[in-house]
A and B are shown apart, each in its own frame.
Chain A
Amino acid sequence: MSNTHMLSIGFPAILASSVHDIKNSLTALRALVGQLENIYQDPKPTEFRQLEFETNRMNNSLMQLLTLYKIDLSQFSLSVDEHSAADILEDIVAQQSTLLSLGNVQLITECHGDLFCYCDSAMISNALCTLVNNAQRYCKSKVLISASEEDDYIVFCIEDDGKGYPENLMSPDYKQLHQVDLATGNTGLGLFFTETIAQLHVKDDKHGFIVTDNNSQFGGARFKLYLP
Chain B
Amino acid sequence: MAINLSSKKILVVENQAIMRETIKHILGLFNAQFIVETESGVNALTAMKINRFDIVLCDYNLPKGKNGQQVLEEARYLKLLPVNAIFIMVTFEQRLEMVLSTIDNKPDEYLIKPFNRLQLLNRIERCHARKTYLACIENEIDNGNLYQAIQNCERLLQQDDKKMRMQLLKLHAELTVKVGDFKTAEKIYRNILHERELPWARLGLGVVAFFLGDFDQAIKTFQDLIEQYPMMLEAYDWLVKAHEAMGNDEHAVSSLNSAVTLSPMSILRQKKLASLADKTENLPVAKKAYTATIKLGKNSIHRSSGDYSGLANVYLKSNASDEALKILYELNQQFHNDPEAKLRASLLETEIHQAKGNKALAQQAHEKTVKLNQQFNKQISRELRLEMAKTFYLNGNNETCDEILNDLVKTNIDDKLFIKDIVTLCDAIIGENYAETLIRQIKKELVDINNRGVSLFQEGNVKGALEVFKQAIAKMPSNQTVLLNLIKIIIHDLKTSKPDPEKIISAQTYINKGVQIGIPHNQIGGLQVELDTIQNKSNQ
Q: Which residues of A pack against B, CB within 8 Å?
A: 16, 19-20, 23-24, 26-28, 30-32, 34-35, 38, 55, 59, 63, 66, 70, 75-77, 79-82, 84, 87, 90-91, 93-95, 97-98, 113-114, 116, 118, 122-123, 203
Contacts and interface: CB of A to CB of B under 8 A. Distances in A.
B16 A77 contact: no
B22 A23 contact: no
A38 B25 contact: yes
Interface in B251-296: none
A30 B114 contact: yes
Given A66-B93, A79-B98, A95 B163 contact: no
Interface in B186-233: 196-200, 228-232
B25, B163, B198 interface centre (most CB from chain A within 10 Å): B163
Given A27-B114, A80-B198, A97-B118, A87 B19 contact: no
Contact of A35 (B22, B94, B196): B22
Given A59-B114, A97-B116, 13 more contacts: A19-B92, A20-B93, A30-B114, A31-B22, A31-B114, A32-B18, A35-B21, A38-B25, A63-B93, A90-B122, A94-B116, A113-B163, A123-B94
B336 interface: no
A79 B97 contact: yes
A28 B18 contact: yes
Interface residues of B, number: 35
A38 B21 CA distance: 12
A77 B163 contact: no
Given A35-B21, A118-B196, A26 B114 contact: yes
Contacts of A81: 166, 198, 200
A28 B230 contact: no
Contacts of A76: 95
B94 A23 contact: no
A82 B116 contact: no
Contact of B113 (A23, A32, A82, A93): A23
A77 B231 contact: yes
Nearest to B20: A31
A118 B198 CA distance: 9
B33 interface: no
B440 interface: no
B520 to A, nearest CB: 31
15 contacts: A19-B92, A19-B93, A20-B92, A24-B113, A27-B113, A31-B16, A32-B18, A35-B21, A38-B25, A77-B232, A93-B118, A94-B122, A97-B116, A98-B117, A113-B163
